[in-house]
Amino acid sequence: MVMEIDSSTPNGDDGVNKINGHDHDGDRRHMAIIEPHSELPKPEAPAGLFALPPSPSSSPPSGNYSFKFGKFIRERSNNFSAAIVKKLNSLDDARAEAEPEPAGSTVIKPDEVTQFNISGLKVVVKLKSHGEEGDEKIKGRISFFSRSNCRDCTAVRRFFKQRGLKFVEINVDVFPPREKELIRRTGSSQVPRVFLNDKLFGGLVALNSLRNSGTFDERFREMLGRKCSGDAPAPPLYGFDDDDEEEESMDEMLLSVKLLRQRLPIQDRLIKLKIVKNCFSGSEMVDVLTHHFKCDRMKAVEIGKQLSRKHFIHHVFGENEFEDENHFYRFLEHEPYIRKCYNFRVATNDTAPKPAVFVGQRLNKIMSAILEAYASDDRRHVDYAAISKSEEFRRYVNLASDLQRVNLFELSPDEKLAFFLNLYNAMVIHAIIRVGHPEGVIDRKSFFSDFQYVVGGYPYSLSTIKNGILRNNRRDTYSLAKPFGSGDKRLELCPLKVNPLIHFGLCNGTRSSPTVRFFSAQGVEAELRSASREFFQSGGMEVNLEKRTVYLTRIIKWFNVDFGQEKEILKWSINYLDATKAGLLTHLLDDGGPVNIIYQSYDWSMNS
């Protein structure tokens, strides 16, 4: 086959050469050669593909001496001219480097090109950061032990992130058995403790001293220049529960529950002109217990009351605890609301309920660890996608199942306040991950009402927690009915007085809501005041002295019954403003003139 190059560009196709060839049958075929992009390096042509023009040195010799002499003069002249031009160009380059560029001019240097576009392809030039260049020399592993809500641990975490260093964090509040390892390796449970491979480096003081000495990068690369050995602290693994974590004990009433689940005639019945699904009568349950345990009916009734207190069974209308009559009951797993509860999986949690104080503290620690790892330092931006894939969140979901039959009535007022604040904020994160962020009014109504947990044997939605518990059974905005009806057991958990600061401790996952946080039972009141102060100083209230106008968050308009009259709200808010805003607002209120209040627009977009 004979090949020839056709350098013409027919049809106006620039940058395309054609190789013309003849096959053995004499047919003419074409193969296009696409020229590389002008900003990409030019590849060299394969040897022999293009015929080089004959060089002057290869021309046939001539006997004409004058021709050779003229050629010599021309070559020397060309070389001399090229040298002069090269020198002038070098002077221009030096002058350009010495003189600043005129204002408004744009000069693109080769190393400043960050991207260029090719048809169907986008090429991005990204220079390696200081941390990425160091990663090539770091073969070991940085590990550090931490706790939730620890300032020194936060400083260590921020230090590593700012330097672009990859690290493994082992939070002993999330992984309690790892605290034993910490004590074994360091001799104490103090945190933070940083390990470089298997060697203990120290804590925050050691990091600061090394940074101040100016030899941090050199020392770290030297200590992490070899691969990590098997003696280093192991990173937490996803999906594996702790082997040495104490085993959960089954409830002492479980034997009776299993018996009743097998023997009772569970069926749908017509009660008070309503069809009640999956229920049984009290007398049927007493019959089963007396027959199996060989006890009298009074003893069987007492067993039934214990099962009701532990939320294994409930009266279908919530009328009584348990009686040996024609009353009807059903198991917790058969309640109509149970399928909407996202902390219920297949079956109820039959283990002995943990103390509510312990569950609340554990919830606070795990969710705080999640924020420290997957939210910005100011908590205004949350990485929900990363949270959904994390081991911390998997453990939180497991912990949420412990809420099913927990006894909330044993909590003190401050413990209940912190518990429900934390539960609300945790459920919002869970809801965004499971059902997504609501886009419109209808979606928001479903988001706050339909996403539920079963807690202490009763269903709780986000709206129920906020309006039913924390607001002492007050109507939601634009709602006609209260969350709880008369006789609802959950009314006993409501506070005696509504604390208006709760509105600045609840985050609903939007940009205009307060930042997400979790509270401790010991300092919940002070922490709520701090949250309120942060919210008002971050744009929750603005004061325009010239227009005599105060711009207030729309949250206060929606829940004005919790705050009082508008002038009372302004006086009350002075305690949570910075000195400048407080002075301006005080001046407006004291000079006797009118004060205009405008409520800010609410941004419902997600805080991701």
pLDDT per residue over 436-465, tens digit each?
999 999 999 999 999 999 999 999 999 999
The pLDDT of residue 347: 85
Co-location of 173 and 284 in the same domain: no
Least confident segment among 110-124, 259-273, 426-440, 528-542: 110-124
Residue whose C-alpha is closest to residue 221's, from 144, 133, 146: 133
Segments forming the whole domain that contains residue 383: 356-520
Co-location of 206 and 287 in the same domain: no
| Mean local confidence (pLDDT), 249-263 | 91
| Mean local confidence (pLDDT), 583-604 | 93
Co-location of 516 and 403 in the same domain: yes
The pLDDT of residue 90: 59
User: What distance in Å separates the CA atoms of residue 402 and residue 350, rounded to the nearest whole number?
Assistant: 9
Co-location of 392 and 515 in the same domain: yes
The pLDDT of residue 27: 54
Contact 569, 563 (CB under 8 A): yes
Contact 349, 332 (CB under 8 A): no
Q: Is the peptide bond before 413 cis (omega within 30 degrees of 0)?
A: no
**Which residues are bridge partners to 122 per DSSP?**
117
**Which residues are bridge partners to 455 per DSSP?**
458
More confident call, 274 vs 109 = 274
More confident call, 331 vs 96 = 331
Least confident segment among 128-142, 306-320, 454-468: 128-142
More confident call, 62 vs 359 = 359
Co-location of 364 and 508 in the same domain: yes
Burial class (CB in 10 A: 0-12, 13-18, 19+), 461: buried
The pLDDT of residue 438: 95
The pLDDT of residue 10: 46
Q: Give the model confidence (pLDDT) of 543-560 as tens digits.
A: 999 999 999 999 999 999
Those residues whose C-beta lies under 8 Å from the C-beta of residue 142, and which sit 6 or more positions away, are 160, 165, 166, 167, 168, 194, 195, 196, 224
In a domain, 567, yes or no: yes
| Mean local confidence (pLDDT), 37-51 | 58
Q: Residue 468 above 50 pLDDT? A: yes
In a domain, 195, yes or no: yes
- By percentage, how much of the chain surpasses pLDDT 70? 76
The pLDDT of residue 497: 94
The pLDDT of residue 9: 47
The dihedral sign for the CA sequence 121, 126, 131, 137: positive
pLDDT category of residue 262 using cuts at 50, 70 and 90: very high
| Mean local confidence (pLDDT), 590-594 | 89
Alpha carbon of residue 284 to chain centroid:
50
pLDDT category of residue 567 using cuts at 50, 70 and 90: confident
Co-location of 486 and 513 in the same domain: yes
Q: What is the CATH number of the domain that holds 288?
A: 1.10.10.10
Total number of domains constituting the chain? 5
Name the token pair of 572.
């009350």
**Which residues are bridge partners to 143 per DSSP?**
168, 195
In a domain, 568, yes or no: yes
Q: Give the model confidence (pLDDT) of 476-517 as tens digits.
A: 988 889 999 988 999 999 999 999 999 999 999 999 999 999
Co-location of 399 and 372 in the same domain: yes
Q: Is 353 left (phi over 0), alpha (psi -120 to 50) or beta?
A: beta
In a domain, 187, yes or no: yes
More confident call, 53 vs 185 = 185
Residue that is written with structure tokens 């509105």 in the block = 503
Structure letter (DSSP) for residue 268: E
Q: Is 85 left (phi over 0), alpha (psi -120 to 50) or beta?
A: alpha
Co-location of 363 and 497 in the same domain: yes
pLDDT category of residue 528 using cuts at 50, 70 and 90: very high
In a domain, 578, yes or no: yes
Co-location of 512 and 539 in the same domain: no
**CA-based angle 49:50:54, to the nearest 5?**
140
Q: Give the model confidence (pLDDT) of 147-180 as tens digits.
A: 999 999 999 999 999 988 899 999 999 999 999 9
The pLDDT of residue 272: 87
| Mean local confidence (pLDDT), 301-309 | 95
The pLDDT of residue 60: 47
The residue ranges of DSSP E strands in 254-377, in sequence order, are: 267-271, 274-281, 313-315, 328-331
pLDDT category of residue 23 using cuts at 50, 70 and 90: low
- For residue 255, the one-letter residue type is L
More confident call, 6 vs 214 = 214
More confident call, 265 vs 139 = 265
Q: What is the CATH number of the domain that holds 149?
A: 3.40.30.10
Contact 388, 435 (CB under 8 A): no
| Mean local confidence (pLDDT), 209-221 | 84
The pLDDT of residue 479: 86
pLDDT averaged over every residue in the chain = 85
The dihedral sign for the CA sequence 202, 203, 209, 214: positive
Co-location of 258 and 376 in the same domain: no
Where among 271, 303, 336 does a domain terminate?
Answer: 336
In a domain, 122, yes or no: no
The pLDDT of residue 325: 85
Q: Is the pTM of the predicted complex or chain greater than 0.75?
A: yes
In a domain, 85, yes or no: no
The pLDDT of residue 133: 54
Where among 453, 486, 520 does a domain terminate?
Answer: 520
Co-location of 370 and 508 in the same domain: yes
| Mean local confidence (pLDDT), 29-57 | 57
In a domain, 319, yes or no: yes
Where among 465, 490, 520 does a domain terminate?
Answer: 520
| Mean local confidence (pLDDT), 374-383 | 95
Co-location of 205 and 299 in the same domain: no
What's the Cα-to-Cα distance from 473 to each of 371, 417, 462, 493, 496, rounded to whole Å?
30, 14, 13, 10, 11
Q: Give the model confidence (pLDDT) of 286-296 as tens digits.
A: 999 999 999 99
User: What distance in Å separates the CA atoms of residue 365 and residue 350, rounded to the nearest whole number?
Assistant: 24
